[in-house]
Structure 1
């Protein structure tokens, strides 16, 4: 982990939406880097938008960002609140009608997106939707993968194969930014330039 505690700096991002699981995962490194991401957001004055809840990796990130004095916004569809699958939400809670409204709200309330390891089909769908929106020019916000211990290597290889086979434009491949630690990833996201 490379969380630098020496000085606080200000990122060009006001808020980042973090996709992350409600499980901790089998490796302690996932938990360590989740905490590191939260601390890095605090140190660079970045607020958090997330899917709500206080369990799993997202609970670690949201608690660290909240404890560090940054604004935390959880956007939760009413159907998920009723099932109590998110547990308590840290910070401000915004209830929305459905997943479509959630995606619209998360996009309009954030300057960049980061996907941590540890999510299911729903979050994969959300991740690929924001990538697709970038490809179509609906937004110009960077999308980053925190590639802890090579977690995303298979996904990145699959995308590279789709480029090689002619199904993804090579310039669109650059929509996805990735790094193995939070500090480097945020720096790369800040340097991102829309491909289109």
Structure 2
């Protein structure tokens, strides 16, 4: 199986972000899975790819699972695109967020606010589980049952 990781072309200011990215790439590879990413050799995406390769994994371009790591506008764009595609019924692939040190707490709170205000269904909000621990997130994604939620077109 292959896991697509969306993350930043920058490393961030805190060493723990680089460490978590390297751990994630190595965990995916050691679990026998391939890493799919943006293709850059810089930032967190380069760290994840390098760690996966160093652990004997493959890094290629097929996307059956989606995983979000820290990043900026490009990473958030990728996340929103994947979630929108799921809402529209264009795919039913699991997606998850690695929320190291609560990095994505404000974004997750915004999604919860959208549910409370009636702009996002609970089922669609649940398309994006988050974990603080890379191994738990990877386990959740790899064992995920594809959502049976109707797309916006089917609702």
Aligned to 2:65: 112
Is 1:168 aligned to 2:155, yes or no? no
Instruction: Look up the match of 2:153.
Output: none
* 1:21 paired to 2:8: yes
Matched, 1:152 2:104: yes
- Counterpart of 1:100 in structure 2 is none
Q: For 1:195 and 1:153, how far apart are their aligned partners in 2? A: 26
Instruction: Return the TM-score normalized by structure 1.
Output: 0.72
Q: Deviation at 1:129?
A: 1.0
Q: Which runs of 5+ in 2 are unaligned?
A: 150-155
Q: What pairs up with 1:4-153 in 2 under 5 angstroms?
A: 14-73=1-60, 109-118=62-71, 120-153=72-105
- Distance in 1, Cα, partners of 2:148 & 2:130: 16
Which structure: larger Rg? 1
Which residue number corresponds to residue 5 of structure 1?
none
Task: Specify every segment of 5 or more residues in structure 1 that has no aligned partner in the other structure, as ranges.
Answer: 1-13, 74-105
Measure the CA separation in 1 of the matches of 2:123 and 2:44: 32
Superposed displacement of residue 195, structure 1: 4.4
Q: CA deviation at 1:57?
A: 1.3
Take 1:131 and 1:192, find their aligned partners in 2: how far apart are those partners? 16
Contact 1:147 1:178 in 2 (8 A): yes
Q: Is this contact kept in 1: 2:9–2:42, CA < 8 A?
A: yes
CA RMSD of aligned residues (A): 1.3
* CA-CA distance at 1:164 after TM superposition: 0.1
1:187 corresponds, among 117, 126, 139, to: 139
The secondary structure found in structure 2 opposite 1:171 is: helix
- Aligned equivalents of 2:88, 2:9: Cα separation in 1: 30
Higher strand proportion: 1
User: Matched residues in 1 for 2:102 and 2:143: separation?
Assistant: 22
- After TM superposition, the score normalised by the length of structure 2 is 0.89
